[in-house]
Chains A and B, each alone.
Chain A
Amino acid sequence: MRNASATIYCEQGRKEAMHNKGAIKTRKLPQDRSLGRIMLVLSLGVMVLAIAALALGRYYVSLEEVVRILGSQVWPLEQTWDQTMHDVVMNLRMPRVVAAVLVGGALSLAGATYQGMFENPLVSPDILGVSSGACVGAAGAILLGLGNAQIQVFAFFGGLAAVSLTLLIPFLMRRKSTIALVLSGVIVGGFMMSILGLMKYIADPETELADMVYWQLGSIAKVTYDNLFNIAPIIIISGMVLIMMRWRINILSLGEEQARLLGVNLQLERGVAIICATLLTASAVCLSGTVGWIGLIMPHIARMVVGNDNVRLLPAATLMSAGFLIIIDTAARTLTGGELPLGILTGFIGAPFFAWILIKQRGII
Chain B
Amino acid sequence: MAALLEVNNACFAYQDKRLILNNVSFSIEKGDIFTILGPNGSGKSTLLNCITHLYSLTAGEILIDGKDVNHMSPSQIAQKIAYLPQSTLVTYGYSVREFIVMGRAPHLGIFSKPKQEDYMLADETIAMMNLTHFAHKPVTHISGGERQLASIARAIVQKPELILFDEPTSALDYGNQMKALRMIKRLSEEGYAVIMTSHNPDHAILLGGAAGVLSRTGQMETGSVDEILEQERLSELYGTKLQIVYVNEIARVACLPESL
Contact = CB atoms under 8 A, between A and B. Distances in A.
B3 interface: no
Contact of A7 (B98, B105, B125): B125
Interface in B134-174: 138, 156-159, 161
B248 interface: no
Interface string B194-232: 000000000000000000000000000000000000000
B58 to A, nearest CB: 16
A269 B110 contact: yes
Contacts of B186: 9
A64 B108 CA distance: 48
A2 B75 contact: no
Interface in A6-28: 7-10, 12-14, 16-17, 20-21, 24-25
A254 B139 CA distance: 12
A5 B31 CA distance: 17
B78 A4 contact: no
B124 A20 contact: yes
B116 A255 contact: no
Contact of A309 (B83, B98, B125): B98
Interface stretch (A78-86, A96-104, A207-215, A241-249): A241-249
B259 interface: no
B77 interface: yes
Interface residues of A, number: 49
B116 A9 contact: no
B30 A308 contact: no
A51 interface: no
Interface in B64-95: 73-79, 82-83, 85, 88-95
A349 interface: no
A87 interface: no
B110 A245 contact: yes
A247 B95 CA distance: 14
B256 interface: no
Contact of A24 (B103, B112, B116): B116
A277 to B, nearest CB: 15
Nearest to A8: B128
Interface of A: 1-5, 7-10, 12-14, 16-17, 20-21, 24-25, 29, 116, 119-121, 244-248, 250-251, 253-255, 257-258, 260-266, 268-269, 272, 307-309, 311
Q: Which 5 A-B residue pairs are closest in the complex by CB-CB distance?
A: A2-B191, A263-B106, A263-B78, A263-B75, A247-B113
15 contacts: A2-B191, A4-B157, A5-B125, A16-B132, A119-B91, A260-B54, A261-B82, A262-B78, A263-B76, A265-B110, A268-B110, A269-B110, A307-B93, A308-B92, A309-B94
Interface of B: 30-31, 52, 54, 73-79, 82-83, 85, 88-95, 98, 102-103, 105-106, 108, 110-114, 116, 119-121, 123-125, 127-130, 132, 138, 156-159, 161, 186-187, 190-192
Given A254-B88, A309-B98, 12 more contacts: A9-B128, A13-B129, A17-B124, A17-B127, A21-B123, A120-B91, A247-B113, A262-B105, A263-B76, A268-B110, A309-B94, A309-B95
